[in-house]
Amino acid sequence: MKESGAWTEVAFNSRDPLYLQVIRYFKELIATGRLQAGQVIPSRRELGAQMKINPNTAQRAYKEMEEQLLIITEGNSPSRITSDAAVLRKIRSELLADSVNAFLLSVRNIDIPLEELLELVSGKYSEMREMDSRADEGETKHD
């Protein structure tokens, strides 16, 4: 991961507390493999500067992530992503559950049979994977 690239990509919303958005962003980076187990992360001040947030907000996010065991900070060593496989699996499951819940809330009034919904989701999922695969092949050819 680039030193500052990922930290400047986040788009914050105005409805959720900023520190929770930072935590969610970390979880998304972990779940997608852009942050690896054991990887050193920026200091609180560095993160604040890179994300253009108050260092106290970064501190609050780090404190919460330490309590959730997402990151480890030992003494004066830099903070790093946990290597605990169970915690890492939980992050992925939590993000998937949140997305599924949001999706179901958005379609529940349509009154679609479960089988039809699953078929539609499966088809769209396959299409997206195929498009991603083609895009990856295109990048490989141009690199």
- In order of 1, 25, 99, 118, 120, the CA distances from 113 in angstroms are 42, 34, 20, 9, 11
| 103 assigned to some structural domain | no
pLDDT tens profile 15-71? 999 999 999 999 999 998 999 999 999 999 999 999 999 999 999 999 999 999 999
What's the domain count of the chain? 2
| 90 assigned to some structural domain | no
| Cβ contacts of 71 within 8 Å, gap of 6 or more | 26, 41, 62, 65, 79, 80, 81, 82
**Is the same domain home to 127 and 65?**
no
| 98 assigned to some structural domain | no
| 142 assigned to some structural domain | yes
| 118 assigned to some structural domain | yes
> What's the rounded Cα separation, in Å, for the pair 79 and 67?
13
**Is the same domain home to 70 and 129?**
no
Task: State the burial class of residue 92 (Cβ atoms within 10 Å of its Cβ: 0-12, 13-18, 19+).
Answer: middle
**Is the same domain home to 75 and 127?**
no
**Is the same domain home to 121 and 76?**
no
pLDDT tens profile 102-120? 999 998 889 889 899 999 9
- Quickly state the pLDDT bin for 1 (edges 50, 70, 90): very low
Q: Quote the pLDDT of residue 133.
A: 84
Choose the weakest-confidence range: 45-49, 65-69, 74-78, 85-89. Answer: 74-78
Q: Quote the pLDDT of residue 139.
A: 67
**Is the same domain home to 130 and 75?**
no
Give the domain CATH number at 63. 1.10.10.10
pLDDT at 6 over 80: no
Range of the domain at 71: 6-81
| 137 assigned to some structural domain | yes
Q: How far apart are the first and last CA of the chain?
A: 18
